[in-house]
Amino acid sequence: MKEKILLLVYFLIMNLSAFAQNSITSGIPYAASKDQIRPLRQLLNHDLQRELEKQLKINKKWERLIAKGKMAIGLVDISDSSRVKFARINGDVMMYAASLPKLAILLAITQSFEDGTLTETPEILHDMKIMISQSDNDAATRLIDLIGFEKIESVVTNPSYELYDKKRCGGLWVGKRYAQKGRRYPDPIKGLSHAATVTKVCRFYYLLAMGQLINRDRSIQMLEMMVDPEICHKFVNTLNIIVPDAKLYRKSGTWRQWHSDSVLVWGPVWRRYILVALIEDPDGEQILRDLIPVVEKILIVQSTKSATQKITN
């Protein structure tokens, strides 16, 4: 009987997708208030955490990388804005993240617009867009030169955002121009020039999805910079195949053996989530592609369980 209920709920969820297409682009960011925002550690979900650990350990190479601190995963289920669920593996392990921390530049520039210390111009807005969608290094360097490392630091360490923690685990950090020349401004904990932890990147996307990264209007502006990525690799390669109609908001990074990716997936019903991964391994590109089906399997099972509980209750 239980199996029949699970099967029925599964088909109900999948069939609802056809009726939910019109909400794919209209529901984000959520209209959340500051009072609704919580530290992600308070949103840890034991079922989601247990299932994430279980599924990742099935792959023995992934298990070894995780044990060595060379693979970190952060997952946030935002399908229900009132019941956000978080899980992470090596969540506070700070790693070199190549171009992924350009997210911090995006936020710092947008904050400068909001503060009135920088004037929006077509040239700056264009650089912001191609810095994210194309990962253009020249554009990122021009934007860094506009505001400086100290401004970026002040934004990521702002208590309202908590994207870098100097006393504990670090987080998002930009301490070098994306060019050969220029001074270094390394992070205080590990001395990295371009760094991230999956927990802090998940928080960036969580605040963005809730409309609380600066404010709702600025969150929308940043989302527009991040939507429809032009580089089709890693997460995006797989997502374009299995869910071509979903909206993807994304930033990735690659340098030598360091591979990183982050995405906010906005599709119908249960397919609304944030996924962040940092990997130090020559096969990181393929690992990131292979991670998507595993995460989607976890989320559909979790969604089916939740729907079953509502029916049986």
pLDDT at 38: 95
Distance, CA of 73 to CA of 91 (rounded, Å): 7
Distance, CA of 230 to CA of 252 (rounded, Å): 11
Per-residue pLDDT reduced to its tens digit, 79-97 = 999 999 999 999 999 999 9
One-letter-per-residue 3-state SS of the chain: CHHHHHHHHHHHHHHHHHHHHHHCCCCCCCCCCHHHCCCHHHHECHHHHHHHHHHHHHCHHHHHHHHCCCEEEEEEECCCCCCCEEEEECCCCCEECCCCCHHHHHHHHHHHHHHCCCCCCHHHHHHHHHHHHCCCHHHHHHHHHHHCHHHHHHHHCCCCCCCEECCCCEECEECCCCCCCCCCCCCCCCCCCEEECHHHHHHHHHHHHCCCCCCHHHHHHHHHHHECCCCCCHHHHHHHHHCCCCEEEEEEEEECCEEEEEEEEECCCCCEEEEEEEEECCCHHHHHHHHHHHHHHHHHHHHHHHHHHHHHC
Distance, CA of 210 to CA of 82 (rounded, Å): 10
pLDDT at 15: 40
Q: What is the mean pLDDT of residues 230-248?
A: 96
Q: Which of 1-15, 218-232, 297-311 has the lowest mean pLDDT?
A: 1-15
pLDDT at 269: 83
Given a cut of 90, whether residue 19 has pLDDT beyond it is no
pLDDT at 149: 98
Given a cut of 60, whether residue 303 has pLDDT beyond it is yes
pLDDT level of residue 17 (50, 70, 90 thresholds) = very low
Distance, CA of 99 to CA of 172 (rounded, Å): 11
Q: For the whole prediction, is pTM greater than 0.95?
A: no
pLDDT at 27: 81
Query: Please, what's the largest Cα pairwise distance for the chain?
Result: 66
Per-residue pLDDT reduced to its tens digit, 131-186 = 999 999 999 999 999 999 999 999 999 999 999 999 899 999 999 999 999 999 99
Give the CB-side neighbour count of residue 185, counting CA atoms within 13 A. Answer: 15
| Mean pLDDT for the chain overall | 91
Per-residue pLDDT reduced to its tens digit, 281-300 = 999 999 999 999 999 999 99
Per-residue pLDDT reduced to its tens digit, 28-68 = 999 999 999 999 999 999 999 999 999 999 999 999 999 99
Distance, CA of 120 to CA of 217 (rounded, Å): 14
The residue among 26 and 222 whose pLDDT is bigger is 222
pLDDT level of residue 310 (50, 70, 90 thresholds) = low
Q: What is the mean pLDDT of residues 225-229?
A: 97
